[in-house]
Amino acid sequence: MRCALPSPGVRVSTSGRATRERRLRSLHVRCSSSSDQTATHVLTFVTGNQGKVDRLRLAMSLQAGCASFEVDGIDLALHEIQADTVLEVALAKAKSAHEILQRPLLIHDCGLCCAALKDAPGPYTKYFNFTVGTAGLLALMRDQQDRRAGWDDAI
């Protein structure tokens, strides 16, 4: 499996404030303090998902030394390749965005991995969601013993 899934039988809570804070801490944002504390550095985050931009801004605001960083969310109409891994999709997006913007940038891509479905839908999660949907996913998982699922992330 490409995804790091919890062990069978382990239940992982996905709701509640404590879980949200753990997810933010798990970003492990590290900022080095600059000698010029008044300088502002712009981190260009290429995404059309304002929620991702907001979560990164919040994570940065919670870290000491990150006050000099500003997150600039930019929505680019990038071609999304069809590939076998989330990493391949993210790398192609990053290269394409860099060709357009000509500056350092951040891309985040992720995919749902279900153990019983051999890590599917993976990089095809968005398409899967629009075509099969939640009800379809639950139907596919109905008689499965191993119902572990996780996210494959690439930043």
Q: 4 and 32 in contact (C-beta within 8 Å)?
A: no
Residue with tokens 């992982």: 12
Give the model's pLDDT for residue 60: 85
Q: What residue spans define the domains of the chain?
A: 40-154
152 a catalytic residue: no
- CATH of segment(s) 40-154: 3.90.950.10
Percent of the chain, pLDDT > 70?
Answer: 74
- Span 105-148, pLDDT tens digits: 999 999 999 999 999 999 999 999 999 999 999 999 999 999 99
Residue 110 near residue 86, CB atoms below 8 Å: yes
Give me the long-range contacts of 84-89 (CB less than 8 A, separation at least 24): 84/122, 84/123, 85/2, 85/122, 85/123, 85/152, 86/110, 86/111, 86/122, 86/123, 86/152, 86/153, 86/154, 87/154, 88/123, 89/123, 89/154
Write the pLDDT tens digit of every residue in 28-38. 445 554 555 56
Write down the catalytic residue from 75, 109, 146, 152: 109
